[in-house]
Amino acid sequence: MSKIIVTGANGFVGNHLVKELSAAGYDVIGVGGPVLPGMKEPEGLYKYIVADLSKPEEVANIDFQDVEGVIHLAGMAAVGPSFDQPLLYVATNVGLEVNLFEEATKQGVKPKFIVVSSGSLYDSNADLPITEQSPVLSNSPYAVSKIGQEEMGKYYTTRGFEVVIARPFNHIGPGQNLGFLVPDLTKQVIDVERGAANKVMVGNLEAKRDYTDVRDIARAYRLLLEKGRSGETYNICSGQSHSGQEMLDLILAKAASQVTVEQDPARMRPSDTPDIYGSHDKISAHTGWQPELSLDTTIADVVSDWRSR
């Protein structure tokens, strides 16, 4: 069986990706932080390695021999906090990737790398739908760190590596923690169901975003590993946009009781991009990938997940 390394294997996307790869017959080597009490290793792992990827001496504990590919998910992922810690974000996100490439080089092997970037890099004023040719904008330290990751990936192609850049747009699904629109709204609705709260507080729900089920995202990463072309960048998105209000309405439709919704001035952003969605024509043409799970199915699974927590 082919061995695949997944960094950040115990994260939201990592858990789903490990399942996707193991179901496809790969031996998956997960790399991540310590599995703390109450946490579980992702299901379907061949092996789990605890390593701080910011430390080259710990990256040296990863055996790259006989590894066909590396899907690099690990890193700092939230845009907001990056404004207060710009150096940490740039140094961490670029540094982790460099350490992986350098250790593989030291071991004399060159597995194919899928570098996971972000659809949030694009200039929000670009024409819709967003394609891989749309302009990017360094509008946050997080965005700068992701652009840096992409550029380092391109550098390592000159060192003989196959490198594919993935730019996923918003992804949602079971297992996602708070700090994002859908889980934040869903938890509030479930709290009302349980009697732990009497209403749902919301900010501006008019902005429209492109949402894809995390399980479709995981399948896209697998297909990019198998069929993605080195040196190319691929959007992973649904090709449609939905407002926050639409997402809330889908969640409320699954609620077991009547829910009162109120606007909270503290949650209102002074400005927000009104609409953004991407085109997945390129990844579809190169790999055959299409989003398969409907938004209704995703939201049903998210609601079920929060009820079980």
The DSSP code sequence of 34-73 is ---TT--PPTT-SEEEE--TT-HHHHTTS--TTEEEEEE-
- Is it the case that residue 269 has pLDDT exceeding 80? no
Q: Looking at residue 268, what is its pLDDT?
A: 74
Q: How far is CA 238 from the centre of its chain?
A: 14
Same domain, 136 and 200: no
Distance between CA atoms of 122 and 144, rounded to whole angstroms?
11
Query: How does pLDDT run across 223-251, given as a tens digit for each residue?
Result: 999 999 999 999 999 999 999 999 999 99
Same domain, 226 and 304: no
pTM of this prediction exceeds 0.95: yes
pLDDT band at 39 (very low <50, low <70, confident <90, very high): confident
Helix-strand-coil split of the chain, %, nearest 5: 40, 20, 40
Query: How does pLDDT run across 82-135, given as a tens digit for each residue?
Result: 999 999 999 999 999 999 999 999 999 999 999 999 999 999 999 999 999 999
- Is it the case that residue 270 has pLDDT exceeding 70? no
How many residues in the chain? 309
Residue 308, both tokens: 């079980």
When pLDDT is averaged across residues 198-212 and rounded to a whole number, the result is 95
Q: 183 phi and psi, to 5 degrees? A: -65, -35
Residue 175, both tokens: 């297992």
Q: How far is CA 300 from CA 13, 172, 250, 254, in A?
A: 18, 12, 8, 7
pLDDT band at 271 (very low <50, low <70, confident <90, very high): low
pLDDT band at 78 (very low <50, low <70, confident <90, very high): confident
Residue 83, both tokens: 């404004």
- Is it the case that residue 40 has pLDDT exceeding 80? no
Same domain, 129 and 206: no
Q: 171 phi and psi, to 5 degrees? A: -125, 145
Same domain, 112 and 227: yes
| 285 falls within a domain | no
Q: What is the separation, in whole angstroms, between the first and last Cα of the chain? A: 35
Query: How does pLDDT run across 135-191, given as a tens digit for each residue?
Result: 999 999 999 999 999 999 999 999 999 999 999 999 999 999 999 999 999 999 999
Range of the domain at 191: 176-210+240-276+294-308
| 182 falls within a domain | yes
